[in-house]
């Protein structure tokens, strides 16, 4: 501290360290966020991270991104001034086969240093989400219609016809998984019992890219009443010369019949 006398006026000059000024202004040195995770499911891009100091309130977080070959960083749309530790940047139009890099910092009165995330290619990191499933019931069969979880998907635009599906089906009354089948987008499961509730789940795969998806929610449907006509009764064969006549009785009128013979 320095004291200078100028007549009747006393001027006091005080040297203050920069960190004292920051504290006096209510600021605090912020720590960078840590453990950033990038989750990509179909066309949904989600970022999650950990705060480094839970005791500091009113902190927000912002991301920048950088494409391969770029020198400058760009603000990541959907992930600016976030108060939680999660954000969605699905609206960003990206080339899913192009490598990108991310960085994040904490912000309050001042800002933390940037925490950089390892570069990644969205397509390689993406996971296949649960497919959409529509069921139609018959008396002894179920017809299954399957489509990828994201219609007009950017992520799977080049692979839409390459999906295969795995299905697990069981009787609802037992709860025991009975049959596992590899199927395509439209499939019919035969040899089921009429008037019985079956449950199933489906997951998609892109074997060319070594990607296996997650199962859909469980879907249940009840097969219909058995649609089977009773057989003819009182069957008789009469022979007149070399003419063979087959006769029978049947409950319903206006029916047609098919006859087969075995040597």
Q: Domain segments of the chain: what residues? A: 34-125, 132-222
Distance between CA 41 and CA 154 in Å, rounded? Answer: 12
Strand ordering across the sheet containing 132-137: 132-137, 142-147, 186-189
Q: Is the dihedral of CA 56, 59, 65, 71 positive or negative?
A: negative
Quote the DSSP letter at residue 59: -
CB 237 within 8 A of CB 245: yes
Q: How far is CA 90 from CA 44, 94, 153, 156, 258, in A?
A: 5, 9, 12, 15, 60
Give the model's pLDDT for residue 21.
38
Cα-to-chain-centroid distance, residue 191: 32
CATH of domain 132-222: 2.60.40.10
Q: Do domains 34-125 and 132-222 have the same CATH topology?
A: yes
Within 10 angstroms of residue 179's Cβ, the number of other Cβ atoms is: 13
Q: Diameter of the chain by CA atoms? A: 153
Q: What is the pLDDT along the chain (263 residues), one digit of tens a residue?
A: 444 444 444 444 334 344 333 433 344 588 999 999 999 999 999 999 999 877 778 899 999 999 988 889 999 999 999 999 999 999 998 899 999 999 999 998 889 999 999 999 999 999 999 999 999 999 999 999 998 777 678 899 888 788 889 999 999 988 776 777 788 888 999 889 999 999 999 999 988 888 999 999 999 999 998 877 777 888 888 888 778 888 888 777 777 888 877 66
Give the model's pLDDT for residue 171.
92
Q: Which fold has domain 34-125?
A: Immunoglobulin-like (2.60.40)
Q: For residue 240, give the H/E element and its range.
A: strand 233-240
| pTM of model > 0.85 | no
Q: How far is CA 163 from CA 181, 206, 250, in A?
A: 15, 5, 49
H-state helical runs in the chain:
18-24, 122-125
Rounded CA Rg of the chain: 35
H-state helical runs in 107-222:
122-125
- Going by their DSSP bridges, the two strands 142-147 and 186-189 should be labelled as antiparallel
């Amino acid at each position: 501290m320095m004291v200078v006398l100028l007549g009747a006026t006393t001027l006091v000059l005080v040297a203050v360290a920069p960190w004292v000024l920051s504290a006096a202004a209510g600021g605090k040195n912020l720590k960078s966020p840590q453990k950033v995770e990038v989750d990509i499911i179909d066309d949904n891009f989600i970022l999650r991270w950990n705060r480094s100091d839970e005791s500091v309130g009113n902190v927000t977080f912002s991301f920048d991104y950088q494409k391969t070959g770029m020198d400058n960083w760009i603000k990541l749309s959907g992930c600016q001034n976030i108060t939680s530790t999660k954000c969605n940047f699905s609206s960003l139009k990206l080339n899913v086969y192009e490598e990108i890099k991310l960085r994040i910092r904490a912000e309050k009165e001042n800002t933390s240093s940037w925490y950089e995330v390892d570069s990644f290619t969205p397509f390689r990191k993406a996971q296949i989400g649960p497919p959409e499933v529509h069921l139609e019931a018959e008396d002894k069969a179920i017809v299954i219609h399957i489509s990828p979880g994201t219609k007009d998907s950017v992520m799977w635009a080049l692979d839409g016809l390459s999906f295969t599906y795995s299905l697990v089906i069981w009787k609802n009354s037992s709860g025991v998984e009975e049959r596992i089948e590899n199927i395509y987008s439209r499939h019919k499961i035969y040899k089921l019992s009429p008037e019985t509730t079956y449950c199933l789940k489906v997951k998609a795969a892109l074997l060319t890219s070594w990607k296996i998806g997650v199962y859909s929610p469980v879907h249940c449907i009840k097969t219909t009443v058995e649609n089977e006509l009773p057989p003819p009764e009182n069957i008789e064969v009469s022979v007149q010369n070399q003419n063979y006549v087959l006769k029978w009785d049947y409950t319903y009128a206006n029916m047609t019949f098919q006859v087969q013979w075995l040597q």
